[in-house]
Structure formats: structure tokens, C-alpha cells
Chain A
Amino acid sequence: MSNIEVLPELKQIIGSLLFAAKKPLTSKELRKVLADAGSSYGGPYEQFAGIKEDEIIAALGELTSELAHGSSGLCIAEVAHGYRLQNEINCGPWVRTLLDKDKNARLSKPALETLAIIAYRQPILRSEIESVRGVAVDQVLRNLVEMQLVKVVARSDLPGRPWLFGTTQRFLEHFGLRSLDEMPGMEELKRMEKPERTKTFPAMEKELEESLNNQAPNDEGDSNDEISEPE
């Protein structure tokens, strides 16, 4: 039974890929899978190997609307720059019961505020977050890093080389955001006034680039093992 008589349609393949994926898939990633499958299986499977991204996006669109009309309890959402197969929101309580999820576990107000500030102002120093919030954020920030909603993205050139923080892919996934641009007033809040350290930005970016290059090839890996704050 290694051969199949009838090849599936593109949207069927995409549907099954989204089902199997454990994170949102981008159209690029989908295209890569199609190409790889074509070259490893050969024959009729190569039919989808050369598919273009806009064809994939069109198929995703079809699939999305078919699911929406198909009463399957499933839908496709655009989250964290990719596509995700998920349940319909109004079916949530049943899924939650099945998975035994504690419904009271929500982020605290200070945590949400800190996240909001980081989202708009990243890369940002802890001291800068504190000057916006007017309180120490040490513990809150530590928790957010632990939950992988926030990560260290670089170190600044300031004395003591303090960490600069940014939001993660997981942050977008947690809030169901497609990208940061979906947050309200992004342009206005991004930089109401530029902090003085902007001078060192080129150096910072260079360093960020270098540190990314030094990491493992898949740049979204868990580089969280160096979280502890420098003295």
C-alpha cells in the first residue's frame, strides 16, 4: 500500500500539515515541506514540489472558508506570522474540560503592562520599563522570561552591558496575534520620544546580528539558558 491511486488536492495536503504541526506554519515552511516531500518521494509527489507561495496562500484561503462553512468545529487562524489549525472559539469550554486546563490562570495586570511596554519598545532595558511603569519590574520580568513570553535579545553598550528584552514568538501565539502590527496604536506608541541610547543603536544591531549568527542554525531555539541578570 505504498502507492496511492489518487493524489490529494493541495488544500488537503495543507490541511493535514496544519493538523500535524505543533506551531503555526508560514507559507514558506509549507512550500519547503512540499518541495522536500517531492524530492524524497519522487514520482507523482513531485507534482507539488514546485508550487509557488501565492498558490499556497490561495489554497489556504479555500481551506479556511470551507472549514468555516463545514461545521467541523475547526478553523484556521493567522497567528504569529503563520497559519494554525484550531478549534472554534465557542467550543472552547469543552476542549478545556477535556484537557483539564485551569481557567483561572491568567497573567496579572503588572505582567500584562510589562508585556505591553516591551512589545512596543523592544529592544528595551529593564530600567526603561521601570521608568514607564514607575515601579520595579524585576520579579515580573523574571516570570515573563520563564514563561518564554519575553526573551533577552541583546546586551546594550551601556556601562554594565545590561540586557535588552524583546517579545517572543510565543507571545504572539499566546495572545493570538498575527504580528506586532496588530496591536493598537503601534506607530504612535513605538517611540513617543527616543531614549538617549539610540546613539548606540548601530552597534547594538551589529551585536544582535552577531549573536544570532553564533547561535544554532535554527534561530528560534531555546537560547534561554543565560537568563540570569548580570550584576
Chain B
Amino acid sequence: MHMPDLLTTEEYKVDLEVFEGPLDLLLYLIKKDEVDIYDIPIGRITTQYMEYLDLMKILNLEIAGDFIVMAATLMVIKSRLLLPDEDRGPVEEDDEDDPRWDLVRQLVEYKKFKDVAGFLGQLEEIQENVFSREGEHVELGARPEIGMTDVSIFDLISALNQALDRAPKEELNEIFAEQFSVSEKVDYLLETTKNGNPLTLGRLFRGMRSRQEIVCTFLAVLELMKLNRLAARQDNHFGEIVIEQIEGSGPEPVLEENEPS
């Protein structure tokens, strides 16, 4: 996938640290493909990983280092797997010799902590209803929390990917036909979802003909989620994603957008 200069550089950057990392992406791909974590088809997963990375680049997400390092790791493993058997010993007999093993161990370990994080999340939800004399409740303040119930950033990117795939290939002469901006789409989203009107991402992207419009809209969704104005949920894994406005979530968001002069 190649779409340079879709967005003006530096126009919009979403900080991914508040979302998720490369291990999350790998786990997501493994789960999505229902492959055995102990026997990862490295070639396929690497290809998919790179596709997501490309999409994230298009979105101008602040991904950088960590994701690139993992891409390199995947490449190394892939190339080592290509070596003839006698150069690296029998794979089935001795797991330690499998070039994938370090990564698998890291993923399995990380998955366990993710599960515990889920457990803590449930406890936190319960504790929201528990009060004692003052001093016990941690003030989370107005820090931008991500209002994602079940949806991961990768589910969202997945939805974007589908929308982009459906969008017609752009003709050269159409490029300057229409210009969209993220802030315009922010207004549009807030207007469309007001009064508790839920909206599926599928419906949101339907009818959008330009890739630039789709990407701008997507970034607007991310931004509003970051500002805790919108929440995204998904009723089953890899199902349709629904976005909703969070009630009483404050005044107009402050957007820092550098208009290209």
C-alpha cells in the first residue's frame, strides 16, 4: 500500500503510547487469524504486521521506534527460518533452537499480564461503586483516558483498512477536487452522534469516495476518543464497531491543528 502525502506532514499526530504497542498488534493478529501462538506462521504474520505498520504511517500515528524494532525482529526470525534445517537444528525436537522461541515466550508472558490487567479493570469497575470515608478514591482527574470498552486500536485500523479497500481507486484528476480537514470531521462526528445516537464505523465510512476523506474521518474518531468525547465498542470480537458520544463529556474539544498556510 502506498499513499504518500495524503495528509500534510505534521498536520495531525496521534500519540500511540496512549493506545497500544507492537506486542498488542502481534497478539491481535494471532487472535484474528486463530493461529497457535506456539506455532506462529511467521511469514504470514510478518506480512500482516507490515501492512498495519503502513496504515499507521499513513495515519501519521506516532509509532516510530518500538514498532520498527519489532518489524526488524520479525524479519530476522523469518530469515533464520529460511536457513536450511541442518544449520539450525531440528525445530520440533528442541524448542530452544526455534528462532521464534524468544518472541513466543515474550508474547505468552505479555499475554498473561494483559489478562491480569483485565482482571484489575474489572476490580476497578466494581470499586467505582464502593465508597468509604474520603481519601480512598484515586482522583483520575481530567487526564485523557481512552473511552474504549472493548475495541483496540487495531480493530479500528482494521475497520479503516476495509473502508479504504472499498473506496474506489483515485484518479489523478480527482486529487484536488475536494479537501477535507480533521477538525471539520470532528464537528461532523459530534453533530451526527449527538443525543446518544450510535453510529457504526461501517455506516460512517459508507458513501465516502475519497481516501483522504476516510482517513480524515478516522483521525477525527481517534482524536475524539482521546479527548474522551467518543467511546467505541464492539459486541463481539472482530464484529462491527459502534461509536457513541459520551454524555456530558464537556465543551468543544480544543484541537491543535496546524493549518498549512
A binds B: yes
A residues with a Cβ closer than 8 A to B are: 19-23, 77, 84-87, 89-93, 95-96, 99, 101-110, 112-113, 115-117, 119-120, 132-140, 143, 147-149, 170, 173-177, 183-185, 188-189, 192
Q: Which of A92, A102, A116, A137 contacts B117 (CB 8 A)?
A: A116
Q: How large is the interface on B (under 10, 10 to 19, 20 to 34, 35 or more residues)?
A: 35 or more
**Which residues of chain A are within 8 angstroms of B166 by Cβ–Cβ distance?**
none
**Which residues of chain B are within 8 angstroms of A188 by Cβ–Cβ distance?**
112
Closest to B119 in A: A184
Nearest Cβ distance between residue B190 and chain A, in whole angstroms? 17
Contact check, B110 vs A23: say whether CB atoms are below 8 A apart.
no
**Which residues of chain B are within 8 angstroms of A21 by Cβ–Cβ distance?**
133
Complex CA distance for A139 and B249, rounded to whole angstroms: 24
The 5 closest A-B pairs by CB, nearest first: A92-B129, A135-B21, A105-B140, A112-B117, A134-B23
Contact check, B123 vs A175: say whether CB atoms are below 8 A apart.
yes
Complex CA distance for A113 and B19, rounded to whole angstroms: 12
Closest to B21 in A: A135
Complex CA distance for A170 and B143, rounded to whole angstroms: 19
Complex CA distance for A110 and B24, rounded to whole angstroms: 10
Mask, B182-198, CB within 8 Å of A = 1, is 00000000000000000
**Chain A to chain B contacts (Cβ below 8 Å), 10 pairs:** A77-B130, A90-B129, A106-B128, A107-B124, A112-B120, A112-B121, A132-B110, A175-B120, A175-B123, A176-B130
Complex CA distance for A172 and B60, rounded to whole angstroms: 38
Mask, B18-41, CB within 8 Å of A = 1, is 111111000000000000000000
Nearest Cβ distance between residue B126 and chain A, in whole angstroms? 6
Contact check, B17 vs A120: say whether CB atoms are below 8 A apart.
no
Segment at the A interface, from B92-100, B145-153, B215-223: B145-153
Contact check, B121 vs A134: say whether CB atoms are below 8 A apart.
no
* In the assembled complex, B171 has its CB within 8 A of some CB on chain A: no
A86-B132, A106-B128, A120-B116 given; 9 more Cβ-contact pairs under 8 Å: A23-B135, A87-B131, A99-B131, A104-B145, A106-B125, A134-B106, A135-B20, A138-B17, A192-B109
Contact check, A116 vs B147: say whether CB atoms are below 8 A apart.
no
